[in-house]
Amino acid sequence: MPDLRRHAESNFLWACAIVDALVSAGVRHAVMSPGAQMVPVALACRRNQALRCSVVVDERSAAFKALGLARGARAPVILVCTSGSAVGQFYPAIIEANLGMVPLIVLTCDKPPESQFRAVAQAMDQDRIYASHVRASHDLRLPDETIALLPSLVGKLVEASLWPTPGPVHLNLSFRPPLVPAGRQGPELPAPPWVQMPVRMPQPDDARSLARIISAGPGVIVCGPRELGHETAAAISELAAHLNCPVLADSCSGLRFGGHDRSALITHADAVLRRCPPGDAAPAWILRFGGTPTSETVLSWLDGSGAREHIIVEETELWPDPLAQARTTRILRATPALVCRQLRKAARPAPVSWLATFQAEDRRAARILHGLCDRPGPFWEAHIIRRLLASLGDGDTLLVGNSTPIRDFDAFSGTAPDWIRLIANRGSNGIDGGVAFLAGLAEASCGRTVGIIGDLAFSHDVGALQLARGRDVTLVVVNNGGGAIFEYQAVAGIAEFADFLAAPGLDIAALAAAFGWTHHVATEETAFATALRRTRATPGPHLIEAVVDRAASVARHRMFTALVAQDGEGAELEALAPA
């Protein structure tokens, strides 16, 4: 008879070698969903004192929490589960990590080879199960004498999660029982190689060619949703000021909030460009940074702008060409801040009047919006956004849910001098996992963490409310009867689609109480502001239910768009008039 105790010791040493190498490579967080087959990895994670471990029973919630941790910490996070269907529960978050370029180290634990394909419980084919949604995938099978090679493999996996395009990586680990070792002594192995991430410098010829294009006429800079960082935000702003160039800055670009020069930002582009082009202005070129813009109006304008050159600066391997007519003329694989600095030295500016035309239209849209918010009328999303942003300070983090909330933030948030870290999952753009993601974000963030999602998104992730117990976090749920985004689409008038627009019908107060959250309800702007102040004064998790009449909100949105589209000063006067 073989000595089965050796299996348990080998399993543990193998798991320790992997976990210790991950920690040596800089990983500091692990999220684990319990199950028998993952015991060796769980013990290895608990053994390493440099690793902060959290246990989440539901694998789907665990994966979105890990996603939030990785976004908040700007670093890879370990995600662990047992064998079988648990592996599939990670899929939605892995898809978002892939398309949103978030580093995750996914460790799935597997049954031994002899258990496969013969109806053994929780045994299934897990090899490369995440297919093209991960940057790298390895099936290690059973522990053996090659343990000394594991640190190098782990180092390669961590690098793949960070460069050239960040994203998830997958390691499938098979263990033969018994799974619990007698001791807890790990192996003594060297750390994996430390990999320095490169900075991509544009080639001199490419920079000169780009400078000639930009010097040939006026253009527009577009910054899509991606955390571009302080350095890049400052470099883009300085380039725009030098070129007298407007910047269409997405709310999630990292440019709208902070101490850099924001004078060239056009933050109401979704409304302004419906009068497009402002003053019949046509750009000679478009220079894009970041992801695909949230606003369909901006995308449509880019497609029909008539610009001869559409240049995208993208330092990852992403192919960023989302326009319907595939307008992109060149993609420059380089670090954005370096490109901006070189262009600032070499490119000639456009006339000041070019930028001034866009700025005047943007200021006009802002005045109309403020007028609509200040006049008596229904409580709507623009009220929520301005009060929410006013309650945040330098270094705070704001999660904005997909569907209606992110579009409203893009249209209404404007700009502010405090650096507010505004985050949204704009990879696959799904509405699931928002509460779990917020819990992970709060665990990784230093400042205050606030989230805003719709009631439909909330209904997707109610069970994840338990993950924020004991944390100082605020969640705003916009209760507008669910599905408000469809009111702006053709399906709103189709009878067969009515049940898709039905309200979730949740008792949000009861759910908040069940999971230990303090519940607040607001039906008008002053009450909402009061609720926000109370969340700052009292520790623990707070849920603010902002009740919005869907029909009135849709009417207000349409009124804002229509007023901005009008010519002359009459629109501003109408916005200020009593309802």
14-18, 273-277, 309-313, 350-354: which range is least confident on average?
Answer: 273-277
pLDDT at 293: 95
What is the pLDDT confidence band of residue 575, given thresholds at 50, 70 and 90? Answer: low
SS3 (DSSP) at 138: strand
β-pairing, 77-81 vs 29-32, is: parallel
Evaluate whether the domain defined by 204-361 bears CATH number 3.40.50.10260: no
CA distances from 424 to 196, 287, 399, 460 (A): 28, 23, 6, 16
Average of per-residue pLDDT across 5-17: 91
- Residue 122: pLDDT band (50, 70, 90) is confident
Instruction: Look at residues 19, 1, 15 and name the one whose alpha carbon lies nearest to residue 180.
Output: 15
Q: How confident is the model at residue 445 (pLDDT cuts 50, 70, 90)?
A: confident
CATH superfamily of 376-565: Thiamin diphosphate (ThDP)-binding fold, Pyr/PP domains (3.40.50.970)
How many helices and strands in the chain, by DSSP H and E?
Answer: 20, 18
**Token pair listed for 531:** 């609720």
Q: Give pLDDT, residue 195.
A: 81
Number of other residues whose CB lies within 10 A of the CB of residue 181: 21
Mean pLDDT of 134-148: 94
Pairing of strands 219-223, 397-400: unpaired
Q: Identify residue 520 by its one-letter amino acid code.
A: H
Peptide bond into 164 cis (omega under 30): yes
Query: pLDDT tens, 406-422?
Result: 999 999 999 999 999 99
Q: In this model, does residue 89 exceed pLDDT 70?
A: yes
pLDDT at 1: 41
The pLDDT-based confidence of 461 (bands split at 50, 70, 90) is very high
Burial of 190 (0-12, 13-18, 19+ CB in 10 A): exposed
Q: What percent of the chain has pLDDT over 90?
A: 79
444-455 burial code (b ≥16 CB/10 A, e <16): bbeebbbbbbbb
Residues 6+ apart with CB under 8 A from 480: 404, 454, 455, 547, 548, 549, 550, 553
Tally of residues, the chain: 579
Q: Let me know: does 31 contact 89? Beta carbons within 8 Å.
A: no
E-strand ranges in 196-348 read 219-223, 247-249, 265-266, 285-289, 309-313, 330-332
**Highest-confidence range of 223-227, 500-504, 564-568, by mean pLDDT?**
223-227
Q: Are strands 137-141 and 449-454 parallel, antiparallel or unpaired?
A: unpaired
127 has pLDDT over 70: yes
pLDDT for residue 503:
67
What is the average per-residue pLDDT within 329-336? 94
Residue 496 confidence (pLDDT): 66
Mean pLDDT of the chain: 92
The model's pTM is: 0.94
Question: How far apart are the C-alpha atoms of 124 and 189, rounded to whole Å?
Answer: 32
Token readout for 439 is 């819990």
Average pLDDT, stretch 212-219? 95
Dmax over CA atoms of the chain, in Å, equals: 91
Among candidates 480, 534, 520, 517, which has minimal Cα distance to 502? 480
Q: Quick one: pLDDT band at residue 7, thresholds 50, 70, 90?
A: confident
Residue 489's pLDDT is: 64
- Looking at residues 285-293, what average pLDDT do you find? 96
Q: Residue 576 above 70 pLDDT?
A: no
Q: What is the mean pLDDT of residues 557-570?
A: 86
Residue 275 above 80 pLDDT?
no
In the chain, CATH 3.40.50.1220 sits at: 204-361
The tens digit of pLDDT for each residue in 42-63 reads 999 999 999 999 999 999 999 9
How large is the C-alpha radius of gyration of the chain?
26
What is the mean predicted confidence (pLDDT) over 236-258? Answer: 97
Q: What does the pLDDT average to over 242-269?
A: 97
- At 518-548, the pLDDT tens digits run 999 999 999 999 999 999 999 999 999 999 9
Residue in 437, 450, 415, 466 with CA at minimum distance from that of residue 535: 450
Alpha-carbon distance 413 to 392, whole Å? 13
Please determine, for residue 567, whether its predicted confidence score (pLDDT) is greater than 90: no
Q: Which fold has domain 1-174?
A: Rossmann fold (3.40.50)
Output the pLDDT for position 502.
67
Among the listed ranges 105-119, 138-152, 218-232, which one has the minimum average pLDDT value? 105-119
**Residues 69 and 100: beta-carbon distance below 8 Å:** no
Cβ–Cβ under 8 Å, residues 329 and 311: yes
For the record, the structure tokens of 51 come out as: 């690793």
Asked if residues 455 and 481 have their Cβ atoms less than 8 Å apart, the reply is yes
CATH 3.40.50.970 residue spans of the chain: 1-174, 376-565
